[in-house]
A and B are shown apart, each in its own frame.
Chain A
Amino acid sequence: MTESPYALELRNVSKHFGDIVAVDGIDLQVPQGEFFSLLGPSGCGKTTTLRMIAGFEEPTEGTLLLAGRESNDIPPFRRNTNLVFQSYALFPHMTVFENVAFGPRRARISERDVHKRVMEALETVRMHEYVDRLPRSLSGGQRQRVALARAIVNRPAVLLLDEPLGALDLKLRKEMQLELKRIQREVGICFVYVTHDQEEAMTMSDRLAVMNRGRIEQVGSPEEVYHRPATRFVAEFIGEANLLDGTVEAVEQGAPTRVSVAGDTVTTVASCAGAPCEVGDRVSLVLRPEHLHLHRDRPNGVPAMPGRVVEAIFQGSLIRFVIEGPDRRRLSVLDTTASRDQAAPGDAVWVSWLPEWVHAVVE
């Protein structure tokens, strides 16, 4: 096996089911030891990608490398990957110990080593006191831990997780997110995590790929994809975004310095990911609600837009304002400094933002 910095590499990988293109030419490089997420809505091809990595589906085109080794034709039982199923898929007729020992026993190592490794794995997930229990006598969270132990005990090059927290309730899910991250750091295995839950992906991942319609829209750290989305889809899918459609009027080094939005010439400065902008390009300005501020009067020196308060919703630590701007466009504003007395429904206000927080995506 050649030494490779990447635990997993996909080169122009596609998967067709008959006429349906599930995965459409994706490229991906995941370094050793990284927590990487494939994030996207259902039907975006993320699970198919995962199943190709696990060996349950064969790529129609492209090359798949595991730890630097071309692996397209390696059957699942010889692959150095393990999958944690959404349904856990624990063997119901085997105890916790037997479930976790299933992989090591197939590797034909001595029973003493099997025992040692199984107990190690169970201790990592804190289930070592349940060795003799049957899966059906465990809670959802406990089954989840056993499924994880059953996978990490094999020390795979890549550990694949298919929405493993989907069946748990919210509180347990939050707990397991941190737990998964801890376990991943502890074992140092590369995790590839499939989810449609952007918050989950943001919480745990070192990097993530946002997928849509079989393609990767953007790869980057959670901060990058949040603050500098490459496409309109990413901007809308990750977090909450106000999108203002406009036309570029001036450009400096590929980034728009002035954009007119829907007739009202709202002048702004924006960064721009992806392709460089040119004058006349149609762009969408991405404004995160927490980057918007409310004013009674037009503020000086910052880009601003007039509007009227439609709703002011108390949300505990902050207040969410819904502002109707010109052209009946609605903006969501999370202003920690404004109070409901300052801006009540019906009031005329100004919405401002700092130019450095504005980001433009080319349509």
Chain B
Amino acid sequence: MTTGSSVALGSTARGRLSLAFRTVFLAFVGFVLFGPVVILAVFSLNDSIILGFPFKGATTSWYVQAFREPNIWASLWTSLKVAAVVTPVSLLLGLTSAIALTRFRFRLRGTITAFVALPLVIPWLVIGVGSLLFFSATDIPLGLFTIGVSHVVIAFPLATALLSAQLYRLEPHLHEAALDLGATEREALRLVVLPLLVPTLAASAIFVFSWSFNNFIVSFFTAGFENTFPIWVFSTLRRARDLPMVNAISTLVSVVQVIVVVGAWQALRRVMDRRGQDIREIVIGS
């Protein structure tokens, strides 16, 4: 909603109606999107184990309890470890596959493109169950390794998609120009192609990291005895008296994630501004 159009329309009755409608609509969308998170945050401060009104009074005791719960920290640490390995591996796979699929013409290119994109449309539940069947059939013990592998499977196609979109948009002759000026293939990649992909790589890293860190369904099937944070949340939810503590730690983790992601995005935008690029190019194209 632009200020200009609402001012112009605001002068007529029809404009006022439309403005009211748009406000209500936006409020509704906002409520559906953020309502659950807000309720979670509100009840994490409620001095009661019952998730319902009336409000019994404010307390931070659930946060204190959460801080004293060692399983929370162990599971958060597990999730961080997994995401920290899944992210670079996915970026590498995403980068190499994106370059291969955009730069070269070869037989079965279309087929391979489809296979790379497949994990983006197959339900994660199916991927989770499939991974479990695969790992048990091949006698690979479930644990950090299997979580990591299955996370890479679902996350690297996202990096491929973002990076190949950017490679398509980059001037196709830039690479040739580098070769023409005496750069070897490796120099052309290092000096021209990669620097221009840095913002997209950073954006991919943000997305892949949060996909891995937040993933429950695939981890649930491939974790074995490991507890990632989402798995810990799920298992703790079954004990009603711990519910407020889950609310507390979930609120905290969400806030930290939002701060980290927004912070990283802002930093990226400043870098791109300095280079004269527009961050919107990464997600919506230029």
**Residues in A lying within 8 Å of B, measured CB to CB:** 54-56, 75-78, 81-83, 85, 87, 89-93, 102-103, 106-107, 134, 136-137, 150, 154
Contacts and interface: CB of A to CB of B under 8 A. Distances in A.
Secondary structure at the B interface, as helix, strand, loop or mixed, is helix
A92 B277 CA distance: 9
A231 to B, nearest CB: 33
A106 B196 contact: no
Interface in B176-226: 176-184, 187, 191-192, 195-196
B174, B179, B182, B275 — most chain A CB neighbours (10 Å): B182
A283 B104 CA distance: 49
Contacts of B177: 83, 85, 89-91
B14 interface: no
7 tightest A-B CB contacts, nearest first: A106-B182, A89-B173, A89-B177, A103-B181, A76-B179, A85-B173, A77-B179
B176 A106 contact: no
B171 interface: yes
Interface string B264-286: 00000000000111000000000
Given A87-B173, A93-B275, A82 B195 contact: no
A278 B176 CA distance: 51
Nearest to B187: A106
Interface in B239-269: none
B176 A56 contact: yes
A8 to B, nearest CB: 16
Contacts of B181: 77, 82, 102-103, 106, 150, 154
A77 B184 contact: yes
Contact of B180 (A76, A90, A92, A136): A76
Contact of A83 (B180, B195, B275): B180
A102 B188 CA distance: 10
Contacts of B178: 91, 102
A137 B276 contact: yes
25 contacts: A54-B180, A55-B180, A56-B176, A56-B179, A77-B179, A77-B182, A77-B183, A77-B184, A83-B176, A85-B173, A85-B176, A85-B177, A87-B171, A87-B173, A89-B174, A91-B174, A91-B178, A91-B192, A92-B171, A92-B196, A92-B276, A102-B178, A106-B181, A134-B275, A150-B181
Contacts of A150: 181
B187 to A, nearest CB: 7
Contacts of A78: 182
A82 B187 CA distance: 17
Contact of A154 (B182, B187, B191, B192): B182
Interface of B: 171, 173-174, 176-184, 187, 191-192, 195-196, 275-277
B166 to A, nearest CB: 12
Contacts of A107: 182
B275 to A, nearest CB: 6
Given A85-B173, A89-B174, A91-B192, A77 B180 contact: yes
B171 A103 contact: no
B280 to A, nearest CB: 15
Contact of B183 (A81, A92, A102): A102
B275 A89 contact: no
Given A56-B179, A106-B181, 9 more contacts: A77-B180, A77-B181, A77-B182, A81-B180, A91-B178, A93-B196, A103-B181, A106-B182, A150-B181
A102 B179 CA distance: 11
Contacts of B195: 93
A75, A102, A103 — most chain B CB neighbours (10 Å): A102
B201 to A, nearest CB: 14
A54, A83, A154 — most chain B CB neighbours (10 Å): A83
Given A77-B184, A106-B183, A107-B182, A89 B276 contact: no
B258 to A, nearest CB: 30
Contacts of A83: 176-177, 180
A136 B182 contact: no
B106 to A, nearest CB: 15
A107 B183 CA distance: 9
Contacts of A106: 181-183, 187
A299 to B, nearest CB: 57
A276 B13 CA distance: 86
A137 B275 CA distance: 11
A104 to B, nearest CB: 9
A117 to B, nearest CB: 13
Contacts of B176: 56, 76, 83, 85, 89
Contacts of A82: 180-181
Given A102-B178, A154-B182, A136 B276 contact: yes
A151 to B, nearest CB: 8
Nearest to A93: B195
